[in-house]
């Protein structure tokens, strides 16, 4: 698979991020940046037994920003296996076959239950422990390929691993001061320096709305105490997606922007690993976030049309080759698309108005563009992460 990659490198040690359980790790090998979480392994204590300078074999998959997520590690003697493994084919046949025949019976006897099945599907869609979480772990071809390579590593076969040579880390090559290269709106201040005394914290924000719980990393940056509020836990299950939480750790050289009078950072460029984090306004989602909204919206349209088609197939008078059938399906498709498109148009309109009329939103956009341009000039290759 194109998204799975296997490497051999000399182990230089992990960096630990300011996270909830202090288990979020990063490994930099030249231009390659790797992330993982101890919580996803059967025996996290084995990480302490890895020795510096020894060859390390890792199985990874590529994330959306260009970095890699580690699924398993081996130094030739110690193997760190993921705690979640795809089920074998024999174990899957029985439950899958049972569900298949039950669905056939339901569809044959009671066509109106398709509506109930649609509601169940939507419920499982919004449930993080629902069907997608189950399928991504047990049916994922990516995990099966990674698991097969891990079994070969157990037998001493590492011929499929690409050798990486460790180069000096970017954190040791601090760029020139960004004060003269980044022009920010007057409402913003530029912060630059090494992160010190970082820690994870959950707090209650009452400035915008009462009892709004936030989480993020707090740290000392230069002479000022700063924090970067972001949901560091909801993206931690990277077995099921191609995202990862923001990574901030002691010793990282960062360049960030904040509002004057506030300590909450609105944009951050981590020079140490080349990652860029941009915080958008709820009234002005970024391009990545809007792309996800479009995929979800039109994905729901396809689901509704699928269940509509299954209901129509139970009509004994149905003629699939007749024009009335296609006309009715086209009418239903148009009726389903109309409210979805109106909602998307309204969101785009609000997004445009917020950019034109809100000084805060317009200022944020300018800050994001300035930080991103500077990161590109410094050689950052990762795609930026858009956060709320």
Paired strand residues for 280: none
> Any residues with CB less than 8 A from the CB of 323 and at least 6 apart, and which?
none
Kindly state the average pLDDT of the residues 158-167: 76
Indicate the pLDDT class of residue 185, thresholds 50, 70 and 90. Answer: confident
Tokens representing residue 284 in the block: 């002005």
Q: Which of 85-99, 102-116, 243-257 has the least mean pLDDT? A: 85-99
Q: 198 — phi, psi (to 5°)?
A: -80, 145
pLDDT reported for residue 236: 47
Encode 252-276: b = buried (16+ Cβ within 10 Å), e = exposed.
Answer: bbbbbbbbeeeeebbbbbbbbbbbb
Q: Is the distance from CB of 203 to CB of 197 less than 8 angstroms?
A: no
* Candidate ranges 17-21, 53-57, 260-264, 284-288; pick with highest mean pLDDT: 53-57
Kindly state the average pLDDT of the residues 329-356: 87
Q: What is the mean pLDDT of the chain?
A: 76
Write the CA distances from 384 to 67, 194, 211, 287, 289, integer angstroms.
11, 20, 30, 11, 12
pTM over 0.85: no
> Which ranges in the chain belong to alpha helices (H)?
89-109, 113-126, 131-138, 141-154, 287-312, 323-357, 359-377
Q: What is the pLDDT of residues 36-59, one digit of tens each?
A: 888 888 888 888 888 888 888 898
Q: Which of 101-105, 244-248, 355-359 has the least mean pLDDT? A: 101-105
Write the CA distances from 256 to 191, 277, 321, integer angstroms.
5, 9, 61
Which single residue is written with the structure tokens 């099945």? 117
d(Cα 36, Cα 27) in Å, to the nearest integer?
9
Q: Is the distance from CB of 342 to CB of 336 less than 8 angstroms?
A: no
Kindly state the average pLDDT of the residues 9-15: 87
* Candidate ranges 129-138, 238-247, 362-371; pick with highest mean pLDDT: 362-371
């Amino acid at each position: 698979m194109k998204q799975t990659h296997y490497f051999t490198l000399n182990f230089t040690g992990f960096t630990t991020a300011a996270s909830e359980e202090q288990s979020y790790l990063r490994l930099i090998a030249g231009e390659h940046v790797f992330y993982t979480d101890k919580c996803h392994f059967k025996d996290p204590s084995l990480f302490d037994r890895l020795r510096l300078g020894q060859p390390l074999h890792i199985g990874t998959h590529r994330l959306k920003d260009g970095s890699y997520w580690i699924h398993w590690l081996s130094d030739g003697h110690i193997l760190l296996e993921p705690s979640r493994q795809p089920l074998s084919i024999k174990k899957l046949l029985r439950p899958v076959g049972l569900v298949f025949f039950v669905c056939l019976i339901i569809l044959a006897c009671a066509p109106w239950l398709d509506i109930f099945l649609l509601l169940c599907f939507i419920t499982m869609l919004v449930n993080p422990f629902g069907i997608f979480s189950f399928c991504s772990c047990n049916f994922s071809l990516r995990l099966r390929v990674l698991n097969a390579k891990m079994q070969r590593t157990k037998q001493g076969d590492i011929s499929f691993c690409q050798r990486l040579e460790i180069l000096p880390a970017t954190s040791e090559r601090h760029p020139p001061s960004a004060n003269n290269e980044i022009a920010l709106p007057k409402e913003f201040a530029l912060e630059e320096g090494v992160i010190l005394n970082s820690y994870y914290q959950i707090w209650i924000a009452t400035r915008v709305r009462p009892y709004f719980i936030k989480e993020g990393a707090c740290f000392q940056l230069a002479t000022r105490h700063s924090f970067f509020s972001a949901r560091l836990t909801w993206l931690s299950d990277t077995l099921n997606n191609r995202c990862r939480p923001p990574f901030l750790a002691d010793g990282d050289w960062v360049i960030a922007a904040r509002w004057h009078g506030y300590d909450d950072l609105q944009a951050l460029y981590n020079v140490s690993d080349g990652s860029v984090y941009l915080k958008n306004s709820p009234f002005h989602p970024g391009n990545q976030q809007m792309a996800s909204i479009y995929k979800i919206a039109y994905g729901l349209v396809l689901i509704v049309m699928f269940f509509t088609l299954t209901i129509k197939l139970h009509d004994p008078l149905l003629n699939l080759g007749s024009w009335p059938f296609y006309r009715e399906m086209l009418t239903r498709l148009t009726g389903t698309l109309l409210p979805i498109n109106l909602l998307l148009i309204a969101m785009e309109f609000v997004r445009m108005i917020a950019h034109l009329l809100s000084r805060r939103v317009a200022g944020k956009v300018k800050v994001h563009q300035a930080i991103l341009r500077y990161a590109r000039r410094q050689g950052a290759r990762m795609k930026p992460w858009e956060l709320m």
